[in-house]
A and B are shown apart, each in its own frame.
Chain A
Amino acid sequence: MDLTGFPILSVIIFLPLAAGLLILVMPATKTGWVNGLATTVGAVDLVLALLLYFSYDQVAAGYQFIEKMPWVPQLGISYHVGVDGFSLPMVILGALVVLCGALVSWNVDDRPREFFAFLMFLGTSILGVFASLDLFQLFFFFEIAVFPKYLMIVLWGYPKTRNYGGMKLTIYLFVGSMMALFGVLVIYFKSGLNTFDLLALDQVSFAPELQRWLFPFVFLGFAILGGIFPFHSWAPDGHVAAPTAVSMMLAGVEMKVGAFAALRAGIMLLPEGAQYWQTAILILATINVVYGALIALVQTDFKYVIGFSSVSHMGLVLIGMATLTKQGLLGAGMQMFSHGIMTALFFAIVGMVYDRAHTRELSALGGLGRKMPWAAFGFIVAGLVSMGMPGFSGFTAEFPIFVGAWQVAPWVAIIGILGVIVTAGYILLVIRRVFFGELPPALEKVSDVSRKDKFVIALLSSLMVALGIFPALLSDLISTGVAYILALVGAG
């Protein structure tokens, strides 16, 4: 299909923004319109993203669907978007989670217009980052997410902890982005090219000494959003305090935005810096994997288990990236997608359970498999993905990461694999705790999930199974993007 000339990426990116503004001015009583518009936008974006997927030329590879327009010529900033094999799956993921997030939020009755508008802004921010080929623009979209995140958590989140969780998350992430901003400015200055264009900056060889001290600023700054240890504690508190759709977006996609930006602006622009700091990052990321899993094991709050499991799984993404190998990067790309869907489903189901049981304490839950079979099924599927069980997308993602780790630092693989078994432990325990066993009397009247919820569960579950059985659906695409990254890094 010939898409030349039609600015499809811009449409994908800005459609949510336009919808959000429109939603703000809708009449207060027409909640149905608000719900409908948000969901439709999510669906349209997903369809367009899939259109990109099918139109992408894997043989030619490289960045495609490029649009470029001067923005601030005096500073060498342009509006420059495009996707390659690595970012296209992320765009699909973003649209998918926006859609699912909108679907599970139809029951928000407190100021739904603001809620959905902020959700839409968040969507634009995410999609913008993934498609950005200009460093300023990337940062621009990255930062736009700050205020929707904060407001959505403190206004619609879990009342007891939302102020703390929201502020902690926002400040932590802002610190990270400010660090990154500093690094970005230094890159801009030192490149001598007076441009923010990523493609041009990719080709610049910065002095090794510069790269060594600059890399932590840029990489860590963005990786904080990815949940790197020890700067991860915002994630469990923030995600748990957030309303369901926001948790889905935050853990499902926002954390990937962080890792993605760390890759784009950190590793790809400062490859020698990445090599120099490789061991340190691997250590931190491995701690993520194991520590996150161990902490999840001892949680008593259903949502916190999932929160910490996200920290653990993002560690795998960071390991994959840090190995700077073909398989590692492939695995990182697959894991970003797989974990995105998985954790979105996890949080969606946690939300469904909480809406009905009004508690998240594991000790107060039980036997819900009988009352909410769809939720149980979805949670089990997501759980199996989380454990890295073959047949599901988690395995096809984790396996290459470990192969990459083997090439660079075998101990990472050996220690990291412990995370797998601990994950299996806490996942199975939680499944049993929540969905099997005795049904407490307080939960007798719990109803099953709605049709929209079932749709979300079915959609996300089938994607995870499909990717597990046919990894080639994404792996070939991602590999083309990986090749470009490796060329920059200088490895083979």
Chain B
Amino acid sequence: MHEHSGEPHTSNRFYVAIAVILAVLTAMEVMVFYVEALRPILVPLLMLMMAAKFALVVMFFMHLKFDGPLLTGIFSWGLFIAVAIIVALMALFGKFSA
């Protein structure tokens, strides 16, 4: 059983705040897509915002920030190897060469 009530990170208001941030980030992502002037930095900007949304959901909605390090380790390792494979395969298929 969790001891949950009363902590600031578990109030409904907190969750709604996170949801608002997620919505704003999504809107920003779409805006970046439509603004031509940002094209040169589109990819890094999008990656950043995507990562931010990802982290917010995992840390707060999935409560990982407040659970023990074991669960973070399990998730992080899965994520790390997955990203490494994505990057390695993309490199092997020439996606990072000019």
| A and B: bona fide binding partners | no
